[in-house]
Chains A and B, each alone.
Chain A
């Protein structure tokens, strides 16, 4: 240290001569503070920012535009149609093309060709009456001559779903790879001697449901459960009619008393379809379902959209004790349940005047139509979900996007592409890939990690940061300004 004695004005040494008092040192001190702060900024930014990995939004936008089309080739049998085969084919093609813009054909490309080859999926031939077989349609001799009729039949068989406009899609339950079917025998009040202690539910299910379930096994898995309850009161008083009690249309919507009926637990996330056999108590017997005119309807069963079916069973009035419902007692009940089940699953009926020759419960035309419908539904569902994810992520800047979400979105996209590729080959494969794509997309959408910092307001950050940063920055900035002024002064003085 320079220990030059002070000037003669005083015995004290001049502070400006001290090494640490020279301008360079001060600048060095000041700038090192600022350098540390500036170097620390990226670290601070890195450690406090939310992890937002970039999602493949361009790819998603491109995919959303994509409208895969499932190809259906219908081959006219050359021998059945004779010489007119080409004209019939072109006429039917023309009719199908004319209606191609309607909603029922969305996503399906139907083409009529002449002569079967290995690419064609269905054959159309002539026979005695109009029947459907294993991927084949046999036309009666009159129908063969009418191309409009052929086009109409093929439309009904290949694309039976009138989408969006009517209320059909609301009834059908959303696609899931696995459903639970819950059968419940509910006695309104078993203590009143009019109920049933049990039912041959397993036999009835194996007789009525198993054929249908094995056909639908291609699309879904099913888990079956059943229970009996002995006290399940209604939450309302049914209307009193001449010969008993009646349930009006409004009452049907509130029929299920979920407060007091324990119908299913939440042990799994699979959607549940309920089939409820309701046995009214003796004082409420007989109970009918009323039509709009207030008269008892023919059927005693009704369907609750996307929920399941209900059947009201009136036991004989002279019953003196509880009975065990035999298989034959359950025949009307379970045939109603199967019908309700098929409606809920979205299985289309065959055209009214067409019979099926197939031994299985569902014809191959119905199954294929359902497969196509579910595949397209899943593709649209995954597209919508993916689109919603990127929209949400773009809108909410605080939403973290981790690698789990990114991988799931990526996986969903890859599977969707697989589904597009398969769409021209096989509806089964399309369904398989698209359902997996949907599963991935929904998992990404509902990922709990995306909610982590959603509700952390900016005010909290200011409250944490300002007490330190504001008070530290003031001397730093003031020192900087002061030094700058001093530097300017000395420069002016030098000039």
Chain B
């Protein structure tokens, strides 16, 4: 019915090809494997705090604690089976947290991203999540996870890239799915988070949307390549391949019990350095807050220098100084006001400890104390410098008595404005509507991903695409559709995955609508507090590789589009807020009532049939009274 190419692809096979730099595999040493060199030379720790005033009076505070184990490599997955028999090699860490290192090693994880976030990230008003508004991390020392990997999906999000050497179970290998299960349990234990619920019902592998942010190390070549008909999951040279596992639990709420183990992973904990500012009472009082754990491998050579395993522990909060100041309604902020704490002692093992403050534009302000360095619109404080103890950075707006909220909506800081909603009041059917507005003057090509648990089923024949309120379908703007239907029950449960490429003309709004059926759940499948409804994870809009020819088609005839305009894509992933779906919910006191009711019914039928069959019929002579027989 549509020109869209419907391809039903198995979730696990929908993996992109990753060409890996075929760097020669040096002596494999996992994080913390034996090395003669002293540990200090191998491990470095840098911490930074980036404060960014936002147009709506809020302040974004992004902490980044980065530990790099130089020269280390993620573990070779083929060695997992052998280690079961022989025991593992030694692990020695000075700065890298041992607890996390053990988990990464035990499951041979090449790249890991864990996010625990609460609140709705307002892309229009706040721009990209993470420390910097720019997408690509600038070179040292600003480099961090970057907004791309930071993400802002609400709830608990975990994704990991794991290699399979192709050994298979028969040769002592451990399958990726087993390791994914183990990784979830281990991280759930470490961070006191309900990651156990990120099970098969939520796990999928949307590799295009979540590409590795580092490099995946080439796998050893002594293993036979697994015969794979589609060949789409082969990713690393020498017969091994990498696979992604991604799961999102939108209903998980991040809180103090997650911050305590997070802080324990820092070398100086909350005792010294910037970790001191992670005050749970203030951080979790922020309008938006999130914790992130990002582990990746940086290949030797190139920008990464020697390369190694990089761990970034990120914490971010969007504070509202206007609210915190009470009746003053001032957007002036200071460490004391935002965190209720100061950095009292420097962390002795930090190589750098810096505070960056993005300075406001076109307004009179004063920033105290004097920054160590001002570079463009960014002031930098070096907390390792002399006399840098008990620094209370504060920013005051000099000519502003009270902060006036902007009356007109300021121009959006995000390339796309996304609205997503569920329509329909019925408990059996509904419709998912998504509208995407392109805020740029160039056409935008962007990937669109929905990973919905089997609670809802999308009916793809009802998928309509319209542009700017025009009723005519514009299916040409949606290409490369892949859809994996949900697997609701039984041994193979899984979410539905819908992925497509969208082309949005400049300053236009694309509307997508698709009908969906809601599942009728079994009695035991309901979660506690079933009447509240189920959280559906947000959609993801992700950058596309633009050299791909297949995305060009939709733009040529787009309305208002300049034929010569070069299409762009977005610089980071955009997550929409969660949705709440209302499913048919039983009265949970029913089971015994049902048993009794149906038993009564059966008994009634049985009794009457039985009576009919065994009743003794007699003639009663009314004249002679009731003389039987």
The interface of chain A, by Cβ under 8 A from chain B, is 6, 9-10, 12, 14-16, 18, 21, 26, 29-30, 33, 178, 182, 189-191, 193, 195, 197-198, 200-202, 205, 221-231, 233, 260, 262, 264-268, 322, 324, 463-464, 467-468, 471-472, 475-476, 479, 483, 486
A190–B106 Cα gap in the complex (Å)?
30
A16, B618: Cβ atoms closer than 8 Å = yes
Stretch at the interface among B462-470, B476-484, B533-541, B594-602: B594-602
A9–B623 Cα gap in the complex (Å)?
11
A475–B40 Cα gap in the complex (Å)?
87
- A201: which B residues are within 8 A, CB to CB? 39, 92
CB distance from A436 to the nearest CB of B (A): 14
User: A16-B629, A230-B349, A265-B186 are known contacts. Are A29 and B272 too (CB-CB below 8 A)?
Assistant: no
CB distance from A464 to the nearest CB of B (A): 6
Task: Count contacts on B: residues with CB < 8 A to the other chain.
Answer: 57
B348, A15: Cβ atoms closer than 8 Å = no
User: A15-B618, A33-B610, A468-B599 are known contacts. Are A197 and B90 too (CB-CB below 8 A)?
Assistant: no
Stretch at the interface among B2-10, B93-101, B443-451: B93-101
**Contact flags (1/0) for B36-64 with A, using CB distance below 8 Å?**
10111000000000000000000000000
CB distance from B257 to the nearest CB of A (A): 13
Pick 16 A–B contacts, CB within 8 A, sort by A: A9-B621, A30-B614, A190-B268, A198-B40, A227-B98, A230-B267, A230-B272, A230-B348, A231-B272, A265-B98, A265-B190, A463-B595, A467-B603, A468-B603, A471-B607, A472-B607
B98, A197: Cβ atoms closer than 8 Å = no
A26, B616: Cβ atoms closer than 8 Å = yes
- A472: which B residues are within 8 A, CB to CB? 602-603, 606-607
User: A16-B629, A479-B610 are known contacts. Are A225 and B271 too (CB-CB below 8 A)?
Assistant: no
* Closest CB pairs A-B (n = 10): A15-B617, A467-B599, A227-B98, A471-B603, A221-B87, A265-B99, A191-B345, A468-B599, A224-B90, A231-B271
Instruction: Output the nearest chain A residue to B45 by Cβ-Cβ distance.
Output: A230
A191, B268: Cβ atoms closer than 8 Å = yes
What 5 additional pairs, Cβ within 8 angstroms, besides A9-B621, A189-B271, A197-B349?
A227-B92, A227-B93, A230-B268, A324-B38, A471-B599
Residues 73-127 of B at the A interface (beta carbon under 8 Å):
86-95, 97-99, 102-103, 106
Q: Which of A230, A324, A463 contacts B592 (CB 8 A)?
A: A463
B348, A322: Cβ atoms closer than 8 Å = yes
A225, B98: Cβ atoms closer than 8 Å = yes
A6–B621 Cα gap in the complex (Å)?
13
B92, A222: Cβ atoms closer than 8 Å = no
A10–B613 Cα gap in the complex (Å)?
25
User: A265-B98, A267-B102 are known contacts. Are A479 and B92 too (CB-CB below 8 A)?
Assistant: no
CB distance from B195 to the nearest CB of A (A): 14
- B264: which A residues are within 8 A, CB to CB? 260, 262
CB distance from A438 to the nearest CB of B (A): 18
A226–B345 Cα gap in the complex (Å)?
26
User: A202-B34, A230-B348, A267-B102 are known contacts. Are A191 and B271 too (CB-CB below 8 A)?
Assistant: yes
CB distance from B435 to the nearest CB of A (A): 45
CB distance from B43 to the nearest CB of A (A): 9
The interface of chain B, by Cβ under 8 A from chain A, is 32, 34-36, 38-40, 86-95, 97-99, 102-103, 106, 186, 189-190, 264-265, 267-269, 271-272, 345-349, 592, 595-596, 599-600, 602-603, 606-607, 610-611, 613-614, 616-619, 621, 629
- B596: which A residues are within 8 A, CB to CB? 467
Q: Which of A29, A202, A222, A260 contacts B613 (CB 8 A)?
A: A29
- B267: which A residues are within 8 A, CB to CB? 229-230
CB distance from B265 to the nearest CB of A (A): 8
Instruction: Output the nearest chain A residue to B623 by Cβ-Cβ distance.
Output: A9
- B607: which A residues are within 8 A, CB to CB? 471-472, 475
B99, A262: Cβ atoms closer than 8 Å = yes
CB distance from A209 to the nearest CB of B (A): 10
B87, A178: Cβ atoms closer than 8 Å = yes
A197–B39 Cα gap in the complex (Å)?
9
- B92: which A residues are within 8 A, CB to CB? 201-202, 225-227
A195–B94 Cα gap in the complex (Å)?
13
A197–B346 Cα gap in the complex (Å)?
14
B94, A228: Cβ atoms closer than 8 Å = yes
CB distance from B81 to the nearest CB of A (A): 15
A222, B87: Cβ atoms closer than 8 Å = yes
Q: Which of A268, A476, A483 contacts B610 (CB 8 A)?
A: A476
Instruction: Output the nearest chain B residue to A23 by Cβ-Cβ distance.
Output: B616
A189–B347 Cα gap in the complex (Å)?
10
B595, A464: Cβ atoms closer than 8 Å = yes
CB distance from B530 to the nearest CB of A (A): 22
- A198: which B residues are within 8 A, CB to CB? 38-40, 94
- B602: which A residues are within 8 A, CB to CB? 468, 472
B90, A12: Cβ atoms closer than 8 Å = no
- A193: which B residues are within 8 A, CB to CB? 348
CB distance from A323 to the nearest CB of B (A): 11
B98, A231: Cβ atoms closer than 8 Å = no
User: A191-B346, A265-B103 are known contacts. Are A29 and B614 too (CB-CB below 8 A)?
Assistant: yes
